[in-house]
Structure formats: C-alpha cells, structure tokens
Amino acid sequence: MSGRTANGVRVAQVRWGVLSTANIGAKAVAPAIARSANGRLLAVASRSGDKAARYAETFGMERHYGSYQALLADQDIDAVYIPLPNSLHLEWTIKALESGKHVLCEKPLALSVAECLRMEEAARLSGRVLMEAFMYRFHPRIALARELVASGRLGTVRLIRAAFGFTVADPTNIRLQPELGGGSLMDVGCYCVDVARLLLAAEPDEASARAVWSGSGVDVHLIGRLGFGNACLSFDCSLDTVRQEYVEVVGTEGRLRLDKALLPGTAATAIDLVTRAEGETRSEVQGVDEYQLMVERFADAVLAGSAPDYTARHAAAGMAALEALYASAHSRGETVPVTPLPTNLPPPP
C-alpha cells in the first residue's frame, strides 16, 4: 500500500479495484479515486471483458477483468469500490472481505438490517474496513449544518423536511426492478432518512408511509414520516416526479435550509438560516468534491487500520427505519414502531 509522488517521495496509497462499470462509478467515484491523494485506480471488473477493457482504457487503469471474482483474486488490490445493484451488495461485499479486500460499498449498504449485520460480521472476521458510500456526509456544508443544529441556534428542533426525487424514464433501469432492490426509498429516500439521523444525532422510534407502486412492484413515490421523540422527519422520495432535492430544519428559535442538499456538485454552496435573534443570514461554504473527500477518508482508515467514519452498524440502524417505512407503506400508512437493533451485538469493528 505505497506509491511515489512525482518527486520520488514515498507516500501511503491504497490500490483500488472497481466492481462493475456502473454509471455512478464512471461518472463520479472512479474519477474521485483517480484524483485522490492516497489512492490509485488500479483495476476494474465487469461481467463483460470488453466493457472492462474499455473502462480501463478510459481511466488509464492498468488492469481489467471479465469477472468480479477474478479481480478479487488479484493480490495487489487493497480495496474495492462496489457500485452493484442493491441486491448484490451483500454477496460481493462478503466475497471481497473474505478475499482480504477493504470495501467501500454503495448505498444503501444492503436490503435489510440482517444483511447489514452479516456484512459487519464479515468485516470483523476479516479485519478489513467496510463503509457505506454515502458521499454527501463528507461535504463540509453537512458538517456545518450539524454544528448549527447542535449549537442550539435553532432552539429545540421540531421538524426536518426533506425531499429527493427525479424521473427514471428507462423501464430497464435497476431502480425500477424489485428483484435488484429498486424503489424510491431504497434509491433516494434513504438519503432523507440518513440526513435526519445525522442532524438530530438520534434514531427514530416510529414510522409511517404511503407509497405509489409501479406495475413491477417498486415504490415510485413514497411519502414518509419518522418520529424521533418530539422531533419528526417528514419527507418524500420519488422516481417519477420533477427533480427535487432539499433539506430544511425547523426549530423553536430558527430554521435552516439546504438546497441541492445531497448532490451540490463542486461549486460553492450555502446554508440559509433564519433565527428570531439574528434574522436572515447566509453561510457560504467552499465547493468541494464530496466523492473525493469520501474516498480519501475511507483510504485514510484503511491506511491507519482504524474504524471508518460510518460503520455497518450505523447502516443497519438506518435500514431498521427503512424496514419500518416499508412495513407502514404496505399497510396503507399505519404507524409502526422502528425495531431497535439487538442489544447483545459486539462493539462494531
């Protein structure tokens, strides 16, 4: 796990492999790894050898493989990035960990709490780092929003409003396939749930949701509510509406709003804050590549042999909320409890 800079200085570097030629990898994560200060994009694998070869050429990667298993057998690869359909995250994360690779797996980490906990156990047994690739968490604007909420400037938080949605027109898209773990909650609603948990630094205790189901059986639009004691998340997520993407926090003394809250791009962003004491203010935040920050933080944990910023246990707790939301949506909006994680689990690795 080392490389050399242009002037010959030895630097710690993680050698990365990418499992599949997925859009998100090609568009955002592989370029972020290529630019990262502590990583090297070494290899890609695809079900198609030709696709892997073209991808490797595009990114100037040294190696390409016609199967995921062949990449996992490459002893020079330290870590893999897994942007497979959601239903394949469990299988390939466990295979990668058992092959001695560290794993950055796309969101949502898995399809259920039980799957997340199996992945956590595989990470524990292998001694490798496992993290869910929620890139938005690494944007400094999210850190600032968390600080603002924790500082009490908004008073007591009563409500988080969030929305994330757009239209998926292609009926073959993985998001519209139930057997691949599709659906608006799994694809984009999971961001709304995750950001509320981060901002409130708490876990929800009850859920209710109503969904519109596609002919294939996935939720193309879901309106959900999560109770966090006296605070609440109200959100909607969709695969069939115009684009929407924002987060608002409403407290007894003020409120804040983030537009393009999850995918702000690399331009400068802002938080709009209104409080009784200070009136309207705007905090500017420098533009960054949140994907690059994510892969660098992950590689730092790999190189330091430390725990990742977000554990599979954190993902499991988020999945408990998603499971409750789906249970409610299937019973036409009945309020259901969010089942807490078992209390007898070992500490997360």
Ligand X SMILES: NC(=O)c1ccc[n+]([C@@H]2O[C@H](COP(=O)([O-])OP(=O)(O)OC[C@H]3O[C@@H](n4cnc5c(N)ncnc54)[C@H](OP(=O)(O)O)[C@@H]3O)[C@@H](O)[C@H]2O)c1
For residues 154 and 139, give the distance between their C-alpha atoms in angstroms, rounded to a whole number: 21
**107 near ligand X, judged by CB under 6 A:** yes
Binding of ligand X by 109 (CB under 6 A): no
Interface with ligand X includes 167 (CB under 6 A)? no
The two three-digit tokens of residue 188, written as one number:
């984009």
Exactly one of 51, 95, 107, 260 is catalytic; name it: 107
CB of 327 to ligand X, least distance (A): 21
The verdict on 46 binding ligand X (CB under 6 A) reads yes
Among positions 1, 3, 12, 24, the unique one binding ligand X when judged by CB under 6 A: 24
User: Of these, 71, 119, 135, 157, which contacts ligand X (CB under 6 A)?
Assistant: 135
Kindly state whether residue 106 participates in binding ligand X, applying the rule CB under 6 A: yes
For ligand X, which is the closer residue by CB, 170 or 280?
170
Query: Between 136 and 228, whose beta carbon lies closer to ligand X?
Result: 136
295 CB contacts (<8 Å, ≥6 apart)?
16, 29, 32, 33, 36, 39, 81, 104
Number of other residues whose CB lies within 10 A of the CB of residue 168: 19
Examine residue 32 and tell whether it contacts ligand X (CB under 6 A). Answer: no
- CA distance linking residue 116 with residue 122, whole number of Å: 10
Residue choice 5, 23, 167, 306 for contact with ligand X (CB under 6 A): 23
**SS3 call for 51:** helix
Q: What's at 324, amino acid-wise?
A: A
CB of residue 254 to ligand X, shortest distance in Å: 30
# residues contacting ligand X (CB under 6 A)? 21
What DSSP string runs through 170-233?
-TTSGGG-GGGT-SHIIIIIHHHHHHHHHHHTS---EEEEEEEE-TTS-EEEEEEEEEETTEEE
In the shown chain, the binding pattern of residues 52 to 91 toward ligand X, with x for contact by CB under 6 A and - for none, equals: -------------------------------xxxx-x---
Q: Is 107 a catalytic residue?
A: yes
42 is a contact residue toward ligand X (CB under 6 A):
no
- Which residue lies nearer to ligand X by CB, 22 or 163? 22
312 closest CA partner among 105, 95, 19, 91: 105
Q: Interface mask (CB under 6 A) for ligand X, residues 179-218, using x and -?
A: -x------x-------------------------------
Query: Which alpha helices (DSSP H) does 64-210 contain, by range?
Result: 68-72, 89-98, 113-126, 140-151, 184, 190-200
Instruction: Verify binding: residue 47, ligand X, rule CB under 6 A.
Output: yes
* Single residue of 77, 96, 133, 196 touching ligand X by CB under 6 A: 133
Residue 20 is a binding residue for ligand X (CB under 6 A): yes
**Whole-number Å distance between alpha carbons of 308 and 287:** 24
Question: Tokens 């020079």 identify what position?
Answer: 76
The Cα 218–Cα 176 span in angstroms is 6
Residue-wise DSSP of 236-282:
EEESEEEEEEEEEEEESSEEEEEET-S--TTS-EEEEEEETTTEEEE
Q: Which is nearer to ligand X, 71 or 301 (CB)?
A: 71
Cβ 312 vs Cβ 348: under 8 Å: yes
Q: Applying CB under 6 A, which of residues 1, 3, 49, 51 lies at the interface with ligand X?
A: 51
Cα–Cα nearest to 260, from 136, 148, 158: 136
Shortest distance, position 46 Cβ to ligand X, whole Å: 3
Q: Which residues bind ligand X (CB under 6 A)?
A: 20-24, 46-48, 51, 83-86, 88, 106-107, 133, 135, 174, 180, 187
Catalytic residues, by residue number, are 107
